């Protein structure tokens, strides 16, 4: 009977091994990049909900069911006037009556998404707006307060408190004092009804203005952030420039120190030269003044061409002397001061 041995690794088909290895690597990469969508180790199935506003919700905030964390918010986008929130949740089933609400997690304003998976059928699309809620809006709060107070009959309220005060007239002092205080309060509210109405109307106007200018406020905050970033960058640039100037000063001090012995004699000699020139300034001025006529005559003699113009007295007669164009006087009279 012939005994067979497994084929050695070096003798196997290298092309097949390479293809299998590449497929295995591709599978590993796919699992790595899609790990969040895997049923066991992933973050759960992706769902979406539609809101009137984001309500301060951000990507990465928790998703809770009955107070238990089951996932997190993955994306928040604006679709027209509707805010679409996508989230992952590890739940067995989302019913067709599932509701969602943005709630406050901490006193610092951090939010989370509370999901209530209701319904007998499977959820087939986004959770609609009519089943989602956001934290109570300040504008709506002032508006509701204004509407509620406007519907109060202040005269009837005052009459009610007065009747209540009369009913408790013979009661102990503590109760009578309380009712009297309520009566005074109702009378004060009644007397200030117009002022309260105007105050609430003004408050509603201010809140509406703030709401209308929300985009401008957001732009101001964004521009302020950009300004701070630019200032921070400029601060770094100025800091680097100051550091470079300090390093340059150190290098210059080192350069002067290294060449101090050579520069000191040269500066001393330069000082001596400047002192000599200062002492002989009058002589220099006189020399320059006397050089002026000499150079004027020299320029006239050499300025007519490639020769030197000269004058010999008595060489020509008065009628045959050449016409000279320069302005130097030519005669046989001796110069002032002597000469032959």
Q: Characterize the bridge pairing of strands 62-65 and 68-79.
A: antiparallel
Q: Is 61 within 8 Å of 72 (Cβ atoms)? A: yes
Query: Would you write out the chain's pLDDT as a tens digit for each of its 340 residues?
Result: 555 556 555 566 677 777 877 888 877 777 666 655 555 445 568 888 999 888 888 888 889 988 888 888 999 888 888 899 999 888 888 888 899 998 888 767 788 989 988 888 888 888 898 888 887 655 556 666 666 666 666 677 767 767 766 666 666 666 667 767 777 777 777 677 677 777 777 777 777 777 777 777 777 777 777 777 777 777 778 778 888 888 888 887 877 777 777 777 777 888 888 888 788 888 877 877 777 777 777 777 676 666 666 666 666 666 666 665 555 555 555 555 544 4
Nearest one of 47, 215, 56, 214 to 134, comparing CA atoms: 56
Listed by start position, the domains of the chain span 43-135, 141-230
Give the per-residue pLDDT at 94: 84
Give the per-residue pLDDT at 317: 62
Secondary structure class of 334 (helix, strand, coil): coil
DSSP letter at 133 equals E
> What are the DSSP E strand ranges found in 22-110?
45-51, 62-65, 68-79, 82-89, 99-104
Instruction: Please state the separation of Cα 210 from the chain's center in Å.
Output: 24
d(CA 87, CA 126): 11
Give the per-residue pLDDT at 339: 45
Residue 34: in which H helix or E strand, if any?
Answer: none
Q: Characterize the bridge pairing of strands 99-104 and 132-133.
A: parallel
Give the per-residue pLDDT at 190: 67
d(CA 133, CA 139): 16
Residue 113: in which H helix or E strand, if any?
Answer: strand 111-116
Structure tokens at 316: 């020509």
Structure tokens at 334: 């001796």
Structure tokens at 322: 């050449």
Give the per-residue pLDDT at 325: 56
Instruction: Please state the separation of Cα 84 from the chain's center in Å.
Output: 28
Q: Is 66 within 8 Å of 54 (Cβ atoms)? A: no
Q: What is the pTM of this model?
A: 0.35
Structure tokens at 294: 């000499």
Nearest one of 65, 30, 14 to 44, comparing CA atoms: 65
Residue 114: in which H helix or E strand, if any?
Answer: strand 111-116
Cβ neighbour number for residue 182 with a 10 Å cutoff:
16
């Amino acid at each position: 009977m012939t005994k067979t041995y497994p084929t050695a690794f070096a003798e196997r088909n290298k092309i097949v091994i390479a293809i299998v290895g590449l497929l295995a690597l591709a599978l590993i990469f796919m699992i790595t990049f899609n790990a969040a969508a895997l049923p066991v180790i992933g973050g759960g199935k992706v769902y979406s909900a539609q809101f009137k506003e984001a309500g301060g919700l951000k990507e990465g905030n928790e998703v809770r069911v009955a107070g238990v964390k089951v996932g997190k918010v993955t994306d928040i986008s604006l679709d027209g006037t509707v805010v679409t929130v996508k989230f992952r949740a590890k739940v067995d089933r989302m019913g067709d009556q599932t509701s969602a609400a943005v709630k406050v997690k901490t006193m610092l304003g951090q939010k989370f998404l509370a999901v209530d998976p209701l319904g007998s059928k499977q959820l087939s699309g986004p959770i609609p707006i009519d089943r989602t809620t956001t934290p109570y809006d300040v504008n709506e709060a002032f508006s509701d307060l204004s509407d509620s107070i406007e519907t109060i009959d202040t005269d009837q309220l005052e009459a009610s408190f007065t009747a209540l005060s009369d009913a408790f007239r013979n009661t102990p002092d503590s109760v009578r004092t309380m009712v009297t205080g309520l009566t005074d309060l109702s009378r004060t509210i009644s007397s200030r009804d117009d002022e309260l109405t105007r105050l609430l109307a003004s408050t509603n106007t201010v809140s509406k203005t703030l709401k209308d200018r929300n985009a401008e406020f957001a732009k101001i905050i964004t521009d302020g952030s950009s300004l701070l970033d630019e200032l921070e960058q400029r601060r770094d640039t100025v800091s680097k420039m100051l550091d470079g100037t300090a390093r340059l000063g150190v290098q210059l001090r080192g350069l002067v120190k290294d060449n101090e012995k050579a520069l000191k004699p040269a500066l001393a000699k330069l000082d001596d030269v400047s002192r000599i020139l200062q002492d002989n300034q009058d002589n220099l001025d006189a020399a320059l003044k006397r050089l002026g006529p000499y150079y004027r005559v020299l320029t006239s003699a050499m300025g007519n061409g490639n020769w030197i113009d000269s004058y010999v007295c008595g060489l020509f007669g008065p009628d045959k002397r050449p016409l000279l164009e320069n302005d130097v006087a030519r005669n046989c009279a001796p110069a002032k001061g002597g000469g032959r």
